[in-house]
């Protein structure tokens, strides 16, 4: 029942995020035109900080893929929603039987974008909702964990008003969950890049 409530709350948060991600009103005539928002594709490594996770899922890269939506609230301040996915297969510590893990992080927050051209730094932070699923011969676990994050990055634009940018981002997340009396740290360091479509 608790899991159902958490999933419901997280789904509501996602709905609000999508609602607020609608473009802000256009700038008044005579003012400098600014972006209304972005739609971005993202790819990069995610280092889960928990030692047991690293032991069980040591094979292969921890690569997250996802999308980022942002909407300008006022000049320089954006609301953003990030949703990504991480899928891993590993081996149980004692039996070496296969185990599978799927994590879908949803991050909501605010960021400040510096009013520069061509190279545009930004920083921000917010809240996280981590949906995760793990399956092995021992059993199946599905739950939601919450946490916080901070991030910073750079946009590279190719010209004033050009609708495509490159994005490089560094992010750290704190997300802990308790399973069978044991605390698992699902948060960690994430970095990567992608393409942003500006509108």
> Which phi and psi (to 5°) does residue 20 adopt?
-75, -15
What are phi and psi for residue 8, nearest 5 degrees? -60, -45
Of the chain, the percentage scoring pLDDT greater than 70 comes to 83
pLDDT value at residue 31: 31
- Residue 4's pLDDT band, with cuts at 50, 70 and 90, is very low
Asked if 62 and 54 touch (Cβ cutoff 8 Å), the reply is no
Give yes or no for residue 25 having a pLDDT over 70.
Answer: no
* CATH number for the domain formed by residue range(s) 2-15+42-198: 2.40.160.20
For the segment 183-191, the average pLDDT, to the nearest whole number, is 96
- Residue 102 tokens, joined: 């799927």
* Tens of pLDDT, residues 113-127: 999 999 999 999 999
Taking residues 176-187, what's their average pLDDT?
90
Compute the mean pLDDT over every residue in the chain, rounded to the nearest whole number: 86
Reported as a single tens digit per residue, the pLDDT across 155-164 is: 999 988 899 9
Nearest to 93 by CA among 55, 60, 38: 55
**29 has a pLDDT exceeding 70:** no
Residues 34 and 53: their CA atoms lie apart, in Å, by 43
Half-sphere exposure of residue 167: CA atoms within 13 angstroms, side-chain side: 27
SS3 8: helix
Question: What pLDDT sits at residue 19?
Answer: 42
- Helix or strand holding residue 171 (H, E): strand 164-179
CB 124 within 8 A of CB 105: no
**Residues 121-138, mean pLDDT to the nearest whole number:** 96
Cα separation, 4 vs 8, whole angstroms? 6
What's residue 34's pLDDT? 59
Residue 138: DSSP 8-state: S
23: which residues sit within 8 A by CB, 6+ positions away? 36, 37, 71, 72, 199
Distance CA 82, CA 145 (A): 16
Per domain, the residue ranges of the chain are 2-15+42-198
pLDDT-based confidence at residue 59 (cuts at 50, 70, 90): confident
């Amino acid at each position: 029942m608790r899991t159902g409530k958490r999933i419901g709350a997280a789904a509501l948060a996602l709905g609000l995020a999508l609602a607020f991600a609608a473009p802000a009103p256009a700038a008044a005539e005579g003012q400098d035109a600014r972006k209304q928002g972005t739609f971005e594709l993202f790819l990069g490594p995610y280092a889960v900080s928990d030692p047991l996770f690293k032991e069980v899922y040591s094979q292969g890269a921890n690569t997250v893929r996802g999308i980022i939506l942002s909407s300008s609230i006022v000049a320089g301040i954006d609301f953003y929603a990030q949703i990504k996915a991480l899928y891993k297969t590993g081996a149980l510590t004692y039996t070496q039987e296969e185990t599978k893990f799927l994590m879908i992080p949803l991050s909501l927050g605010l960021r400040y974008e510096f009013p520069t051209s061509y190279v545009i730094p930004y920083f921000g932070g917010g809240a996280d909702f981590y949906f995760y699923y793990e399956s092995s011969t021992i059993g199946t676990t599905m739950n939601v964990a919450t946490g916080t994050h901070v991030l910073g990055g750079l946009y590279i634009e190719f010209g004033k008003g050009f609708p495509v940018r490159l994005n490089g981002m560094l992010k750290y997340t704190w997300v802990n969950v308790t399973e069978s009396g044991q605390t698992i740290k699902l948060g960690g360091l994430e970095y990567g890049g992608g393409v942003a479509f500006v509108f």
